Structure 1
Amino acid sequence: MDKREIAQNLEDHYAEFCDLIQSFSTVDFNHHAEGKWSAAQQLDHLIRSVSPVVMGLSLPKFLLRLTFGQAKRPSMDYDTLVKTYQGALASGGKSPRAYEPKLGGAAFQSTGTAKLAHLIVRLNRLVESLSEADLDQLQAPHPLIGKLTLRELLYFTVYHVQHHQRSVKAGLEK
C-alpha cells in the first residue's frame, strides 16, 4: 500500500467508524457487555491511540531517527502486520494503561468523533509530507509489537479502527 492508499484507507475507515458512533442512541453509545468496552470507551481508546501517532509523525525526521534508529529490515505488508498484531493479542497482549479508555460524558459522542476525525485529517497531512522511503526507513515503537516502520505503524492504525468497529458492532448484538 503506498502512502496515498494508506491515507485513503485512514480517511474511509475512520469516517465509517465515526458515522457508526454518531448513529447510536445515548444508551447504545454507553452500553457495554460484562468485561467489554462500550462504544464510548472504544472511541476514547482510538483517540488515545491515534494521538501519539500524530505526535510522533510531527517530530522532525532526524529526531525520529536519533530516538528510535533506522529500520534494518523491509516493512511488513499489511496482512503480515495484522497477523503479527493478532498474534500479540492472542498471546495475552493487552492495551497499556495509557491507552485504556475513560468514561466520557453525554457530549463525548459528538466531541469525541469530531476529535478523532480531526486527528485523522492531521495524520493524513503528515503522511503526505513523508516520502515513500521515509515510511520504510523511519521507525517508532508500538506498545505491543515493538518497533515498526512508519508504514507498518500506519497499517496498524488502519487495521486498529476496523478491529474496534467490529467490537462495537459485536457489543450491540449482545
Structure 2
Amino acid sequence: MNKIEIKKELEKAVDSVITDLDNLSKEEFYLQKNGKWSAAQNMAHLTLGAKVFRKALRAPKLALIFKFGINLKAQRNTEWIEETYGTSEFPAVTGFEPRMHENSSLEFEKEQFLKVHAELIQLLDNWTEWQLNTLRLPQLILGKLSIREMCLFFIFHIKHHQKAIRKSIDKV
C-alpha cells in the first residue's frame, strides 16, 4: 500500500468509527459490558496510541535511525500484522490503557480522536515512500516495524477496536 492509499485507509477507518458513535447516548458511550472496555475507553486508547505515533512522526528522522535502526527486512503486510497480533500474548500492563480526561464526554473524545488522527495523517506528507520503508519504530506486541508497517498496524488497530466498540453498543 503506498502513502496515498495508507492515508485514505486511515481516513476511512477514522470516519467509520465516528459514524458508529453518531446518535449514541452518554450511557451507551460509557457502558462497560462483561468487564470489557466501553466505547469511551476504546476511543481513549486509540487516541493515546495515535498521540505516541504522531510524536514519532514529528521526530527528526536521523534521531529515529539512531534510536531504532533501519529496516532491512521485506515489508510485511496487513495479513501478517493481523495474524501475529491475533496470536500474540499481551502483557498485563502496556502503558496504553485508557486514560479518561476529567472533561471526558462523547463530543470531547470524538474531537480528540479526530484531531490526533488528522494530524497523524497529515504528518505522512513529510515522509517519502523510501523513508516509510526504511525507518522503523518499536511496537509493543509486534516488535520493530517500518513506519509503513506501523501505518498498516494503525489501520488494523482502529478496525480491531471498532469491533469492540460495536459490541459494547450492540451494533454487531
Q: Name the TM tier (shorter chain).
A: over 0.9
Q: Distance in 2 between matches of 1:161 and 1:48?
A: 12
Tell me: CA distance 1:31–1:106, structure 2 relative to 1, closer, same or farther (3 Å): farther
1:19-168 correspondence to structure 2 within 5 Å:
19-88=19-88, 92-94=89-91, 96-104=93-101, 107-168=104-165
Q: Distance in 2 between matches of 1:146 and 1:161?
A: 19
* Equivalent AA in structure 2 for residue 166 of structure 1: K
Q: What SS does the aligned partner of 1:82 have?
A: helix
Q: Distance in 1 between matches of 2:99 and 2:55?
A: 21
Q: Distance in 1 between matches of 2:120 and 2:160?
A: 19
Q: Match for residue 4 of structure 2?
A: 4
TM-score between the two structures when normalised by the length of structure 2: 0.92
Please report how far the alpha carbon of residue 58 of structure 1 lies from its aligned counterpart in structure 2 after TM superposition: 0.5
Where does structure 1 lack aligned partners over 5 or more consecutive residues?
none
Identity of aligned residues (%): 25
Q: Distance in 2 between matches of 1:19 and 1:108?
A: 16
Q: Distance in 2 between matches of 1:114 and 1:74?
A: 37
Tell me: CA distance 1:45–1:141, structure 2 relative to 1, closer, same or farther (3 Å): same
Root mean square deviation of aligned Cα: 1.7
Deviations 1:31-56 (A, max 9, x none): 11122000010011001111110000
User: For this pair of structures, how many residues does the alignment match?
Assistant: 171
